[in-house]
């Protein structure tokens, strides 16, 4: 199987999501998937559209970076050129599973437009998503990477096992949410001793609760 990973780099905190995409590329390769990587400045609409059109067998498109309700921004942070994909161009994702995780807000408008235009599935958040950082008392960034990549591991494992797109996506979302809950419980147990645990408890809850899956 084949996946496209779109990983912009230019605007903080996409340096972190770029590093997460590096790990995702390794994970997908380990599951036997071929990976086409759009790195940094390649994340503009013309290049994205060209690659997607010329990789019709890429079942999965993974996006990690900045987004808005109607757009995955890529390197077009100020939305001058319509990002890499937006509501009017949502048909570019036709037949693919398009996952915007982590990315803010895109399930509000882009997700419904993508599945209406024929995407096999869309996974994204209806709210802002929170990055995480290493703090003096604990490496919250490592936790964020772990629960986000749990989604992708679950998804590709289920697809490799022959699950339908809808079943594989549903399982991956559940596994992702359960992993978020694991870390929320962990932070709750350390509220008295970790100065930043309260913030990351709320941040992880928001990252968990607003991720949705949509199907055509």
pLDDT-derived band at 30 (thresholds 50, 70, 90) equals very high
Q: What is the pLDDT of residue 213?
A: 98
Give the DSSP letter string of 46-91.
Answer: HHHHHHHHH-TTEEEEEE-S-EETTEE-TT-TT-SS--SEESTTGG
Higher pLDDT, 11 or 146: 146
d(CA 79, CA 88): 14
d(CA 147, CA 183): 8
Q: What is the pLDDT of residue 76?
A: 79
pTM: 0.96
Q: What is the pLDDT of residue 31?
A: 97
d(CA 120, CA 31): 21
CATH number, position 38: 3.40.50
Whether residue 150 is predicted with pLDDT greater than 80 in this model: the reply is yes
Closest CA to 67 of 39, 24, 99, 97: 99
pLDDT-derived band at 197 (thresholds 50, 70, 90) equals very high
Closest CA to 102 of 181, 34, 18, 43: 18
Whether residue 75 is predicted with pLDDT greater than 90 in this model: the reply is no
Task: Provide the residue range defining the domain that includes 78.
Answer: 2-215
Q: What is the pLDDT of residue 81?
A: 79
**% of residues, the chain, pLDDT over 90:** 90
Whether residue 48 is predicted with pLDDT greater than 80 in this model: the reply is yes
Q: What is the pLDDT of residue 82?
A: 87
Whether residue 12 is predicted with pLDDT greater than 90 in this model: the reply is no
Domain count along the chain: 1
């Amino acid at each position: 199987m084949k996946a496209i990973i779109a990983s912009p780099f230019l605007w903080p905190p996409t340096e972190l999501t770029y590093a997460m995409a590096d790990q995702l590329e390794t994970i997908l390769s380990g599951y036997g998937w071929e990976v086409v990587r759009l790195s940094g400045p390649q994340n503009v609409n013309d290049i994205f559209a060209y690659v997607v059109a010329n990789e019709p067998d890429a079942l999965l498109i993974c996006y990690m970076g900045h987004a808005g309700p109607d757009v995955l921004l890529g390197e077009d942070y100020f939305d001058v050129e319509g990002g890499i994909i937006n509501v009017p161009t949502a048909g570019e994702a036709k037949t693919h599973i398009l996952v915007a995780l982590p990315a803010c807000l895109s399930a509000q408008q882009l997700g419904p437009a993508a599945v209406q235009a024929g995407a096999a599935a869309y996974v994204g958040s209806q709210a802002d998503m929170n990055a995480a950082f290493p703090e003096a008392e604990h490496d919250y960034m490592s936790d964020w990477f772990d629960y986000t990549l749990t989604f992708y591991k679950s998804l590709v494992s289920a697809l490799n096992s022959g699950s339908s797109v809808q079943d594989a996506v549903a399982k991956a979302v559940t596994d992702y949410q359960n992993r978020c809950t694991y870390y929320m419980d962990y932070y709750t147990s350390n509220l008295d001793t970790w100065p930043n645990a309260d913030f990351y408890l709320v941040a992880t809850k928001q990252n968990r609760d607003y991720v949705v899956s949509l199907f055509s």
